[in-house]
A = this chain, B = another copy of it.
Amino acid sequence: MNLDRARELAGRVEHFVRQEVARYERDPRVGAHGPSMELVDEMRAKARAAGVLTPHILPDGGHLTHRETAIVLRAAGLSTLGPLAVNVSAPDGGNLFLIGKIGTPEQKRRFLRPLIDGRVRSAFFMTEPAAEGGAGSDPSMMQTTAHRDGAHWVIAGSKTFITGADGARVGIIMAKTGESATMFIVELPDPAVRIERVLDTIDNAMPGGHALIRLEGLKVPPDQILGEVDKGFKYAQVRLAPARLTHCMRWLGAATRCNEIAVDYAIKRKAFDRQIIDHEGVGFMLADNLIDLKQSELIIDWCADVLDTGASGTVESSMAKVAVSEALFRVADRCVQVMGGTGVTRETIVEQVFREIRAFRIYDGPTEVHKWSLVKKIKRDHASSLSR
């Protein structure tokens, strides 16, 4: 771990995001389903030129440690467009991490390289429609299946909330293979991967939005199995904790920026004969933000340290995800409130970040599902303390 290197890198990312990216925040190419790919490409060209594209991947192909990544991604998150601009956004980050861990050399050449170069986007096909009884938070309910047909596999089913699927060039698809599940990596678009509809959602930071998809007999050759057959759930775990934590890192940056905006507003705006920050009803909200932001940073760093030991970090990332998503939502909510009428307009990014973080309390596992798994951990620990 080299925190100085990470801080230097983060400094450059922060400079780029504040100076070059923030100005695009009100660009009309940011639509209801996220920024257009044209806008993304334009920003990435600048990032490439500035030497801050895909900054968490080292020149030798290595990956920053999780702890180092935290520092860099927080800087990238200072604009809602920052992670996209420098190519550290979801779901690409998690996909890239996973392919790097378990992909074959050929898969890395074909699918990973263009992702690292920031030339294409990818999607992860996991969750399924509630209305059809499919897997939401409970993966055991997965209904999409893959079965062998000669040398190939054929995948059929429905997926929903597939972030970035519309416009993606790479897809990782999870499907039941008997009692287990298997991951497949495919090129997109493909006529058998039909985007039925891009959902209208409360958030709009992700290009391609979140799509409802029908997998209509998609044929996949055996060399596009990602990792081994039947190990899909295990790999999902590998991807899970780091991906979850990068969400926390990026949103911490966004909430930090919101807080800067709210502080500036509260200092410049007067009402009832004072700067509004001098009304404790306002000032105390900003004091609470200071604490919530610091505690979010601390638990992210702690969890990153755990991941850097090589541990799975499942429990720790659940703790971090719950703590950070709930804290940052409070922060964003207070920023909106501090800014009054201005807070609910798109005059600043505060309004958008509030909406995005509302969704974040559900994405990557709702708070309640994480608490549920924490209860299991508490029971395990109690049992093992008794047996000692």
Residues of A within 8 A of B (CB): 127, 130, 133, 136-138, 141, 160-161, 199-203, 210, 263-265, 267, 269-272, 277-284, 286-288, 290-291, 294-295, 298-299, 302, 319, 322-323, 333, 336-337, 340-347, 351, 354-355, 358-359, 361-363, 366-368, 370-372, 374-375, 377-379, 382
Separation of A56 and B302 alpha carbons in the complex (Å): 25
Given the known inter-chain contacts A201-B345, A366-B340, please indicate yes or no for A374 contacting B280, CB distance below 8 A: no
A281 neighbours in B (Cβ, 8 Å): 280-281, 284, 368, 371-372
Given the known inter-chain contacts A287-B374, A341-B127, please indicate yes or no for A202 contacting B351, CB distance below 8 A: yes
A344: which of B283, B343, B358 is its contact (CB, 8 Å)? B358
25 contacts between A and B (CB under 8 A): A130-B265, A130-B269, A136-B340, A137-B272, A137-B340, A160-B341, A161-B341, A201-B345, A201-B346, A202-B344, A279-B368, A280-B371, A281-B281, A281-B368, A283-B371, A290-B374, A291-B323, A294-B299, A295-B323, A337-B361, A337-B362, A340-B366, A344-B358, A344-B359, A355-B355
Q: Looking across the interface, which residue of chain B has its beta carbon closest to that of A356?
A: B344
A361 neighbours in B (Cβ, 8 Å): 337
A347 neighbours in B (Cβ, 8 Å): 199
Interface SS majority for chain A: helix
Contact A337 B294 (CB under 8 A): no
Separation of A129 and B152 alpha carbons in the complex (Å): 64
A291 CB to closest chain B CB (Å) equals 5
Contact A201 B298 (CB under 8 A): no
Contact A272 B203 (CB under 8 A): no
Q: Looking across the interface, which residue of chain B has its beta carbon closest to that of A361?
A: B337
A136 neighbours in B (Cβ, 8 Å): 269, 271, 340-341
Give the one of A137, A278, A371 with max B CB within 10 A: A371
Give me the 6 closest cross-chain CB pairs, A-B, nearest first.
A280-B280, A283-B375, A287-B374, A200-B346, A281-B368, A287-B371
Separation of A295 and B316 alpha carbons in the complex (Å): 12
Given the known inter-chain contacts A130-B269, A302-B298, A337-B367, please indicate yes or no for A264 contacting B375, CB distance below 8 A: no
A359 CB to closest chain B CB (Å) equals 5
Separation of A65 and B287 alpha carbons in the complex (Å): 28
A382 neighbours in B (Cβ, 8 Å): 263-264, 267
Contact B362 A340 (CB under 8 A): yes
Contact A133 B270 (CB under 8 A): yes
Separation of A286 and B319 alpha carbons in the complex (Å): 12
Give the one of A272, A281, A371 with max B CB within 10 A: A281
Q: Looking across the interface, which residue of chain B has its beta carbon closest to that of A199?
A: B345
Given pairs A127-B341, A201-B344, 6 additional interface contacts (CB within 8 A): A136-B340, A202-B351, A277-B375, A286-B378, A294-B319, A341-B363
A133 neighbours in B (Cβ, 8 Å): 270
Contact A295 B299 (CB under 8 A): yes
A322 neighbours in B (Cβ, 8 Å): 287, 291
Q: Looking across the interface, which residue of chain B has its beta carbon closest to that of A160?
A: B341
A127 neighbours in B (Cβ, 8 Å): 341
Separation of A202 and B295 alpha carbons in the complex (Å): 28
A24 CB to closest chain B CB (Å) equals 16
Separation of A377 and B354 alpha carbons in the complex (Å): 25
Contact B286 A375 (CB under 8 A): yes
